[in-house]
Amino acid sequence: MNATRLLVGEIAAGVNAGDSAESVARSALAAIEAYDAIQPQVWTLRLPEAAVLAQARAVDARIAAGETLPLAGVPFAVKDNIDVADLATTAACPAFAYTAGRSATVVEQLLAAGAVLVGKTNLDQFATGLVGTRSPYGAPRCVFNQAFVSGGSSSGSAVAVAAGLVAFALGTDTAGSGRVPAAFNHLVGLKPSKGRWSTQGLVPACRSLDCISVFAADLDGAGRVDAVLAGFDPQDPYSRRAPQPEPVLTLAGLRVAIPRPEQRIFFGDGESEALYASAVARLQAAGAVAVEVDIAPLLDAAKLLYSGPWVAERTAAVEPLLRAAPSAIEPTVRAIVQGGLAVTGVETFRGLYALEAYRRAAEAVWAAADALFLPTTPTIYTVKALKAEPLALNANLGLYTNFVNLLDLSALAVPAGFRADGTGFGVTFIGPAFADRALLDLAAAYLETFPMAETPPLDLTPHKPGVKLAVVGAHLSGMPLHWQLTSREARLVAATRTAPAYKLYAMAESTPPKPALVHVGDGGASIQVEVYELDVAAFGAFTAEVPAPLAIGTVTLEDGTSVKGFVAEPRALNGASDITALGGWRAYIASLQG
């Protein structure tokens, strides 16, 4: 089965001409429901069907009243570090979650343009990663081969578009998160110039570098979203006014910079190397002039993002949680952001000075060429390999992406073929700031001259429904025993509460501290829990590790459904403290620290 990808332009034209936005929405919802049996980890939150259809009917009413809407009826998704009014923003960290009082500016603009929001997508926690494996909601995988990563941090957004669930999805891009997943899943990934689109309502990763980005099935779709979102936002301190006129690039005679042969690094991936060579040859055949340049200043600048003081900017974004509850942060992400606590002001200024030196050195590239043409990534990795070596392999994926925002450049990732295992390879056009429209035109000319090979079939290996398990204490996200779940690839299904029929106790003399959840019926309360899904074998192995006086029984949730969960034998209450009034284990741990 090939992905039937949704095209922004076709949908908008049809709805403006009288097609039903409600019908489009119903089709999208059906596709989402069907694909949920394949990769339920795409989403952190899906809007109720009634809410989606209400949006679509409102679009139909606007069209009937005579409006023409640039994104009429186009279904879209939003990465879950971008605010949507009245919905939770989690940044893939349940302990961080809050309900947004207002939507991000870009979401408001898209809804005003007639787009229909269907849900929020999974991500590497706090947008820290290029892999898509750093989330308690599970690891979205490449749509063509689920053994491989989808790329991150905008993992869920890319998969939602590539699987044909939505026509476009917002991601974010600080180090390459809007480009790497595009390459692996055969998509267009537009990373706008810094400040071109508003970042008001975005949970920052590195606030001075962050960009909201878009994934689409084609260049036209990405361009239509850019036409709606580009513009100055006075409420965003990092918003910028575009120069007038914006740069123009044409393919014929264009000087395109490519790395010197010794700087074309693919970490042993011969297929990626060959696909890049073919892309360069196609570019030359289309009339561009390939110019070999020294990209060492770019690669050296890229190292500053994680080895320099910019890691402290990531720390600044999550510092309150990091200091109050460090265990609530995914271990690899926590290791990264904790490093920022040691960065001094002196080191920060030295980093700024180094960046300016690299910027000056990089001017030689722009003196020799009009645009850069690089592999989006050198290679791709399996989920298993990434989990075994999360830092080094993640760094490899960012080799050709990490420098772009540091050096204030625009970038557009486009497909460039497939490996034998079905995974996508991509190339990226890179230009000066605010060359975004020029890059779209340039890439369109390139792809029209040499269309890509046919998209391979989706990997529809079904997700095997597992056992749902409610955890209440030391196994919660970020707590000391949470690793017993993550090591078994447990997927967070919901952060919810029990039915109002339980009491919670802190057991005496327990290391680490553990709770006892007891069903009492009338007179009980709703207790905060997290519900995870494990495959049957992993659930069995997990259960074997549960020590007495705790046990695995059945827990009733606030919606009336029942799942497996931690319960306690009567002896667990000997000397225990009743902490029911606190409502959950996190509040109890916080009370001990306060």
Would you please indicate which residues are annotated as catalytic (active-site) residues? 79, 153, 177
What's the CA gap between 408 and 406, in Å, rounded?
A: 6
What's the CA gap between 55 and 48, in Å, rounded?
A: 11
Peptide bond preceding 512: is omega within 30 degrees of 0, i.e. cis? yes
Instruction: Please state whether 574 falls in left (phi above 0), alpha (psi between -120 and 50) or beta.
Output: beta
What's the CA gap between 78 and 213, in Å, rounded?
A: 10
SS3 label, residue 353: helix
In this structure, the number of other CB atoms found within 10 A of the CB of residue 66 comes to 6
What's the CA gap between 127 and 314, in Å, rounded?
A: 10
Question: Tell me, what DSSP letter sits at residue 79?
Answer: E
What's the CA gap between 426 and 414, in Å, rounded?
A: 6
Give Cα separations from 89 to 78, 94, 138 (angstroms): 10, 9, 17
Q: Please name the residues in contact with 417: beta carbons below 8 A apart, sequence gap of 6 or more.
A: 275, 278, 279, 424, 425, 452, 453
Residue 412 bridge partners (DSSP): 190, 429
* Distance separating the N- and C-terminal Cα atoms of the chain: 56
Q: Please name the residues in contact with 311: beta carbons below 8 A apart, sequence gap of 6 or more.
A: 305, 336, 337, 339, 340, 343
Q: Are 269 and 378 in contact (CB under 8 A)?
A: yes
Residue 61's H or E segment, with its range, is: helix 49-64
Q: Are 470 and 563 in contact (CB under 8 A)?
A: yes
The number of CA neighbours under 13 Å toward the Cβ of 126 is 28
Closest CA to 489 of 514, 511, 464: 464
SS3 label, residue 304: helix
What's the CA gap between 179 and 182, in Å, rounded?
A: 5
Any idea how long the chain is? 594
Structure tokens of 340?
């920022």
Angle between helices 21-35 and 49-64 in degrees, nearest 10: 160
Structure tokens of 528?
């905060």
What's the CA gap between 195 and 209, in Å, rounded?
A: 9
Query: DSSP assignment of 544-590, as one string?
Result: HTPPTTEEEEEEEBTTS-EEEEEEE-GGGGTT-EE-GGG-SHHHHHH
CA 92, 97, 99, 101 dihedral sign is: negative
